[in-house]
């Protein structure tokens, strides 16, 4: 009986791990004020799968649209541009979305993003199942030492 229970539990755990091929950690969205029409979302995307994947899109009901952006220098000027084919997520690596680098841009905010609240973000990948996160709104990156914020974003499949 114990062997059957152990095998069942092990199979359930393996299914849970397989369902979370890509895990988002340290997610946060930059607060906004009245009149601001856009904001950025940042996180670490940890690709636990054995194959390369691509973050194809992100969406949130709090914005009219969103784009995956990179910041590049063009003739001495920093510019943001959308990644038309998504963001590559190499197998068994962590890809960081950070201010001034790669990030998710929320465009056409329907209301200001208030510090201390959370917003839903849905991430769509080429291979992994879509993930919905409840992302904390902050002024700066959420740190593990900040007792007011969860250590990891909450994920739903």
- Binned at pLDDT 50, 70 and 90, residue 140 comes out as confident
pLDDT surpassing 50 at residue 43: yes
pTM: predicted TM-score of the whole model, two decimal places: 0.77
* Higher pLDDT among residues 147 and 65, named by residue: 65
Q: What's the mean per-residue pLDDT of the chain?
A: 83
- Binned at pLDDT 50, 70 and 90, residue 143 comes out as low
Residue with the two structure tokens 């990644």? 83
Task: Report the sign of the C-alpha dihedral through residues 93, 139, 152, 145, in that order.
Answer: positive
Burial classification of residue 31, based on how many CB atoms lie within 10 Å of its CB (0-12 exposed, 13-18 middle, 19 or more buried): middle
Query: What is the pLDDT, as a whole number, of residue 12?
Result: 39
């Amino acid at each position: 009986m114990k062997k059957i229970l152990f095998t069942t539990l092990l199979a359930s755990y393996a299914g849970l791990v397989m369902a979370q091929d890509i895990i988002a950690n340290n997610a946060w969205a930059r607060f906004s004020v009245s009149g601001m029409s856009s904001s950025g979302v940042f996180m670490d995307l940890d690709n636990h799968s054995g194959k390369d994947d691509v973050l194809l899109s992100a969406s949130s009901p709090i914005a009219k649209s969103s784009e995956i952006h990179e910041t590049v220098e063009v003739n001495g000027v920093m510019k943001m541009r959308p990644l038309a084919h998504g963001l590559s997520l190499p197998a068994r690596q962590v890809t960081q979305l950070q201010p001034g680098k790669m990030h998710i841009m929320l465009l056409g905010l329907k209301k200001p993003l208030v510090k201390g609240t959370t917003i839903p973000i849905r991430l769509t990948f080429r291979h992994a199942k879509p993930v919905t996160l409840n992302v904390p709104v902050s002024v700066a990156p959420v740190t593990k030492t900040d007792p007011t914020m969860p250590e990891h974003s909450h994920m739903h499949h």
